[in-house]
Structure 1
Amino acid sequence: MGCGMSMVKYILFLFNLLCAICGILIIAFGAMMFTDVNSIKDLGDAFATQGLPVALIILGSAILIISFFGCCGAIRESSCMSMTYAALLFVLLVCQVALIVFAFLSKTEFINEVAKIVDKAWDERHNTRTLMDSLETSYKCCGKTGYKDYLLNVQLQLPKTCCDLNADSCIPLVNAYSVGCRSAVTQWWEKNWDLIKYVGIGIAAVEFIGLVFACCLANNVRNYRRRSAY
Structure 2
Amino acid sequence: MDCGTSMVKYILFIFNTLVSVIGILGIVYGVLILKSIGTIEVNGQVGFPPQAIMPIALISLGSIVVFISFLGCCGAIRESVCMTMSYAVFLLILLILQLTLIVLLFMNKGKFENAMGNVIEKAWESDTAQEGGVFDAIQESLHCCGSDSALDYALKGQTPTPSCCNGSCLIPTNFYSGCRGKFIELMSAGSDNAKYVGIGLIAVELIGFIFACCLANNVRNYKRRNAY
Task: Please tell me the TM-score bracket, short chain as reference.
Answer: 0.7 to 0.9
157 and 187 in structure 1: CA distance in 2 versus 1, 3 angstrom threshold: closer
Deviation by residue 1:178-203 (Cα, 9 ceiling, x = unmatched): 33221112123444544433332221
Deviates more, 1:18-27 or 1:143-152: 143-152
Mapping for residues 129-148 of structure 1, pairs under 5 Å: 129=133, 133=137, 136-137=140-141, 139-146=142-149
| Identical amino acids, percent of aligned pairs | 44
SS at 1:158's partner residue?
helix
| Separation of aligned partners in 2, 1:192 and 1:223 | 46
Deviates more, 1:179-188 or 1:208-217: 179-188
- How many residues are treated as equivalent by the alignment? 215
25 and 141 in structure 1: CA distance in 2 versus 1, 3 angstrom threshold: farther
98 and 120 in structure 1: CA distance in 2 versus 1, 3 angstrom threshold: same
| Separation of aligned partners in 2, 1:61 and 1:131 | 31
**Which consecutive unaligned segments of at least 5 residues does structure 2 have?**
42-46
Q: Which residue of 2 aligns with 1:100?
A: 102
| Separation of aligned partners in 2, 1:131 and 1:68 | 42
Letter in 2 for 1:29: Y
Q: Structure 1 length normalisation: TM-score?
A: 0.77
SS at 2:163's partner residue?
coil
**Which consecutive unaligned segments of at least 5 residues does structure 1 have?**
164-169
Coordinate RMSD, CA, aligned? 3.3
Letter in 2 for 1:122: W
Question: Which of 204, 207, 210 is equivalent to 1:209?
Answer: 207
| Separation of aligned partners in 2, 1:3 and 1:177 | 69
Q: Give the CA deviation at 1:50.
A: 3.9
| Separation of aligned partners in 2, 1:3 and 1:78 | 17
| Separation of aligned partners in 2, 1:177 and 1:213 | 56
Q: Structure 2 length normalisation: TM-score?
A: 0.77
Specify the structure having the higher radius of gyration (Cα): 2
| Separation of aligned partners in 1, 2:120 and 2:58 | 21
Q: Give the CA deviation at 1:26.
A: 1.9
Q: Give the CA deviation at 1:153.
A: 2.5
| Separation of aligned partners in 2, 1:130 and 1:156 | 12
Q: Give the CA deviation at 1:157.
A: 2.6
Letter in 1 for 2:219: V
